[in-house]
A and B are shown apart, each in its own frame.
Chain A
Amino acid sequence: AQSVAQPEDQVNVAEGNPLTVKCTYSVSGNPYLFWYVQYPNRGLQFLLKYITGDNLVKGSYGFEAEFNKSQTSFHLKKPSALVSDSALYFCAVRDMLTNQAGTALIFGKGTTLSVSS
């Protein structure tokens, strides 16, 4: 079975500091991994995804994520946080072995990022 864990309910950082939001996954085969951001009372916005290739993936708004197969992790990072980055962040996974067109993403519980000025 596929699953995603986001071990931190909340991450607090000061503006200008680097940020990391953690994500670990469990799948039967090789994973497809995604990060989304959600602002209050809004839908989820796609940030980036890992399919194959380079372990460091660059996405929207200066975010990047590092895929680590041995640690089964896909942590979201940003070199310099902005107050406007404050939001709820979701990690999601889909198993490559589940090769059905309808298969949905499985989401973690989310991590609230709070960036202080």
Chain B
Amino acid sequence: SQTIHQWPATLVQPVGSPLSLECTVEGTSNPNLYWYRQAAGRGLQLLFYSVGIGQISSEVPQNLSASRPQDRQFILSSKKLLLSDSGFYLCAWRRGLIGEVNTEAFFGQGTRLTVV
């Protein structure tokens, strides 16, 4: 079966410090990978998605970047965190077969980031 791991679960970082959140998927190959941010416990904002190694699409301009160094690894980064980067970050995956656009996404447990 497929599983998704996301870490750390919680993180407190000072303003101006770097960030690296990691997400890995097991039990599948060539998944589509996504990073979402959830602010104030409500709506989900899509930040980045990737259909393959080294392929990153950004949905909103921001202080963050994403990378996919391996097929099942997705990393969210920042060089200098802002207070506004605080939030709950969720990684997700779904099957990446061409034409299977009706498949659901599966989410990691999330990372609560607090920038102080």
Interface residues on A, range: 20 to 34
Question: Contacts A51-B102, A101-B101, A104-B34: A42 and B46 contacting too (C-beta < 8 A)?
Answer: no
Min CB distance B54 to A, Å, is: 13
Q: Interface size (B, Cβ < 8 Å)?
A: 32
Query: CB-CB < 8 A to A51: which residues of B?
Result: 102
Interface residues of A in 15-36 (CB under 8 A from B): 32, 34, 36
Let me know if B57 and A102 touch, CB within 8 A. yes
Let me know if A94 and B49 touch, CB within 8 A. no
Let me know if B108 and A101 touch, CB within 8 A. no
Let me know if B96 and A101 touch, CB within 8 A. yes
Consensus secondary structure, chain A interface? loop
* Interfacial residues, chain B to chain A (CB-CB below 8 A): 6, 32, 34, 36, 41-44, 46, 49-51, 57, 59, 88, 90, 92, 96-102, 104-110, 112
* Interfacial residues, chain A to chain B (CB-CB below 8 A): 32, 34, 36, 41-46, 49, 51, 88, 90, 94, 96, 98-110
